[in-house]
Amino acid sequence: MNQIRPPTPLARIYGEPLLEIPRDLYIPPDALEVILDAFEGPLDLLLYLIRRHNLDVLDIPMARLTAQYMEYVEVMRAPQMELAAEYLLMAALLIEIKSRMLLPRQAEAAEETADPRAELVRRLLEYEQMKLAAQGLDALPQAGRDFALVQVWFEQVAEARLPQVSPDDLRNAWLGLLARARVTRHHKVTREELSVREHMSRILRRLRQREFVEFGELFETGPGVAELVVTFLALLELAKEGLIAISQQAPFAPVYARLFREADA
């Protein structure tokens, strides 16, 4: 009875050697783990038994299947209680189905009464379908495993991209200011005023480079009368805002512009 046999693989499932439990129920000490590794759960084990023993899925001999299933469950119950729970649940289901099939059936109702195995068959087939689908997926070429992605070196733009601003963004920003602060009346900005403002900045830049600039030098003669007027307005505005001082030492002496100093106040 207790003749010791080395585990011999009877089949290979996913490359794993599979050991069938000997008829005398002796399980080599490490065979249990092999079984647990080889099966993904009770459905998997049942499928294996059905397929291996050429049983008809649509007409499962419940007595035989249950008996074989119980052999496996018996051996995994003791050491792997937790895992075996799922297998035990299935065992209970199998026994229930078996017993329902033993119940005498009324000839008339037989047609209408669902086969107690139907749900089990549906689950077995659905699981088998997904099991095969998993094999199919694994067989597909996979990036990094079966082929590599091409990537030729190129100069990556290292510096962070700077935000872009359009004139419309500025308009909208101003609009937001208007709506929020109700500064409309005080901050009407016209084209003419903008030109003046631009020239104010330009004059300030000039005056920063040299302390005194002769008044006439601040005017550019090229662009025409409008330009002269705008420059003049800019100078007046700068003087009004106290940003520059305009001075003349004596009548008919040159007029100079310079940045305003506190001493001027």
Partner 1 sequence: MLDLKEVKVILETALLASPEPLSLNALRKLFDDEFGAETLRRVLEELRQDWAGRGAELVNVATGWRFQTRAAYQRYLDRLNPEKPPRYSRAVLETLAIIAYRQPVTRGDIEDIRGVAVASTVLKALEARGWIEAVGQREVPGHPVLYATTKAFLDDLNLRALDELPPLEEMERLVDQSGVAYR
Residues 111-150 that bind partner 1 (CB under 8 A): 123, 125-150
Chosen residue from 157, 158, 250, 253 binding partner 1 by CB under 8 A = 157
Q: Which single residue is written with the structure tokens 């249990």?
A: 32
Region of 20-28, 63-71, 99-107, 238-246 interacting with partner 1 (CB under 8 A):
238-246
* Best CA proximity match to 246, nearest among 221, 215, 217: 215
The distance from CA 265 to its chain's CA centroid, rounded to whole angstroms, is: 64
Give the total residue count for the chain: 265
Q: Are 62 and 97 in contact (CB under 8 A)?
A: yes
Label residue 66 exposed, middle or buried (CB < 10 Å: 0-12, 13-18, 19+): buried
Does 52 engage in binding with partner 1 (CB under 8 A)? yes
Q: Are 115 and 94 in contact (CB under 8 A)?
A: no
Nearer to partner 1, 25 or 134 (CB): 134
Nearer to partner 1, 25 or 170 (CB): 170
Region of 22-30, 68-76, 164-172, 211-219 interacting with partner 1 (CB under 8 A):
164-172
Nearer to partner 1, 6 or 136 (CB): 136
Closest approach, Cβ 103 to partner 1, in A, equals 25
Closest approach, Cβ 84 to partner 1, in A, equals 12
* Best CA proximity match to 258, nearest among 193, 250, 242: 242
Residues 67-96 that bind partner 1 (CB under 8 A): 86, 90
Q: Are 48 and 39 in contact (CB under 8 A)?
A: yes
Residues 171-230 that bind partner 1 (CB under 8 A): 171-181, 183-184, 187-192, 194-195, 197-198, 200-201, 204-205, 207-208
Does 4 engage in binding with partner 1 (CB under 8 A)? no
Label residue 28 exposed, middle or buried (CB < 10 Å: 0-12, 13-18, 19+): middle
Residues 19-48 that bind partner 1 (CB under 8 A): 40-44, 48
Nearer to partner 1, 109 or 160 (CB): 160
Q: How many CA atoms lie within 13 A of 225 on its CB side?
A: 0
Nearer to partner 1, 26 or 80 (CB): 80
Applying CB under 8 A, what is the total number of residues that bind partner 1? Answer: 99
Q: Which single residue is written with the structure tokens 């990036």?
A: 143
* Best CA proximity match to 35, nearest among 17, 60, 53, 54: 17
d(CA 77, CA 107) in angstroms, rounded, equals 40
Nearer to partner 1, 26 or 258 (CB): 258
Name the token pair of 30. 């490490």
Does 103 engage in binding with partner 1 (CB under 8 A)? no
Closest approach, Cβ 236 to partner 1, in A, equals 15
